[in-house]
């Protein structure tokens, strides 16, 4: 099983890793697409006024443009440690033991805008770029990434998709791959927004803590039943509901 998580706008600064090496990231077939986005971000960062407009940054956020200008030079850290915010606070990868972190290494992909899906322990720098941005010189993110990312995921056996709709659009799971897209709801089926990210982070933490060998949707549902996770099928093919009290 592979799990797909969205990134977070908030990121931990700094890092102790060597500068970005795009050849070392997961899904190497995406290399050319990654190079194009990184080059476009660096070029855009050379014009602070244009970058602020394209990236939709406030005056208080304008210093973040420097992150993009230094993409190939900045120190890196593991993607699962780089991202902060509700999902990643709930996941708490830094507090997992070594077996749990190894499980994340083998099973988790984080779908970033500049690099596409990266492995949990792929080394990445801090950056500023959202899924809906259109960078000068390349197509909008959806057109740039969707087909290439779908092709890169075509070899997976089963994918648990916890991405937001915006990031799912950057790389739809191909029909040849068994997958389940998760929505977070109350017991009555009402969709939740505020607790959506927290519930997904907690689900991934429980998976990493128990380290199951899940290879299919039935296997995932059996694991959920055994561990008190309220995952249920819906009338829509490929859609699961994660039931939470909030």
Phi, psi of 123 (to 5 degrees): -90, 120
Q: Say how far apart CA 90 and CA 110 lie, in whole Å.
A: 15
Q: Say how far apart CA 134 and CA 67 lie, in whole Å.
A: 18
Q: Is the pLDDT of residue 73 over 90?
A: yes
pLDDT tens string 142-152: 999 999 999 99
Residue 65 buriedness (CB in 10 A; 0-12 / 13-18 / 19+): buried
Name residues whose C-beta falls within 8 Å of residue 235's C-beta, 6 or more positions apart in sequence. Answer: none
Complete DSSP assignment for 104-126: HHHHEEEEETTTEEEETT-EE--
pLDDT tens string 163-202: 999 999 999 999 999 999 999 998 777 767 768 999 999 9
Contact, 197 vs 246, CB < 8 A? Answer: no
In the chain, domain spans: 2-243
Percent of the chain with pLDDT strictly greater than 90? 94
Q: Is the pLDDT of residue 71 over 80?
A: yes
Contact, 76 vs 134, CB < 8 A? Answer: no
Report residue 73 as tokens.
């030079």
Contact, 14 vs 107, CB < 8 A? Answer: no
pTM of model > 0.85: yes
Q: Say how far apart CA 240 and CA 221 lie, in whole Å.
A: 10
Q: Is the pLDDT of residue 88 over 90?
A: yes
Residue 193: its pLDDT value, please?
73
pLDDT tens string 31-63: 999 999 999 999 999 999 999 999 999 999 999
CA 144 to chain centroid, in Å, comes to 17
Residue 188: its pLDDT value, please?
73
């Amino acid at each position: 099983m592979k799990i797909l998580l969205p990134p977070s706008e908030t990121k931990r600064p700094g890092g102790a890793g060597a500068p970005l090496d795009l050849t070392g990231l997961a899904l190497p077939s995406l290399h050319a697409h990654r190079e194009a986005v990184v080059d476009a971000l660096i070029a855009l960062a050379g014009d602070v006024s244009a970058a602020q407009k394209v990236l939709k940054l406030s005056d208080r956020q304008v210093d973040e443009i420097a992150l993009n200008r230094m993409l190939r030079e900045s120190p890196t850290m593991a993607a699962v440690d780089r991202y902060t915010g509700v999902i990643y606070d709930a996941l708490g990868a830094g507090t997992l033991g070594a077996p749990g972190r190894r499980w994340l290494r083998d099973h988790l992909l984080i779908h970033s805008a500049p690099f596409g899906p990266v492995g949990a322990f792929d080394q990445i720098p801090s950056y500023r770029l959202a899924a809906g941005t259109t960078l000068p010189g390349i197509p909008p993110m959806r057109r740039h990434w969707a087909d290439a990312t779908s092709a890169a995921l075509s070899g997976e056996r089963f994918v648990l998709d916890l991405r937001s709709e915006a990031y799912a659009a950057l790389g739809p799971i191909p029909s040849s791959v068994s997958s389940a897209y998760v929505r977070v709801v109350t017991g009555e089926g009402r969709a939740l927004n505020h607790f959506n990210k927290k519930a997904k982070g907690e689900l991934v933490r429980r998976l990493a803590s128990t380290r199951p060998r899940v290879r299919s949707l039935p296997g995932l549902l059996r694991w959920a039943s055994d561990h008190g996770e309220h995952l249920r099928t819906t009338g829509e093919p490929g859609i699961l509901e994660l039931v939470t009290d909030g």
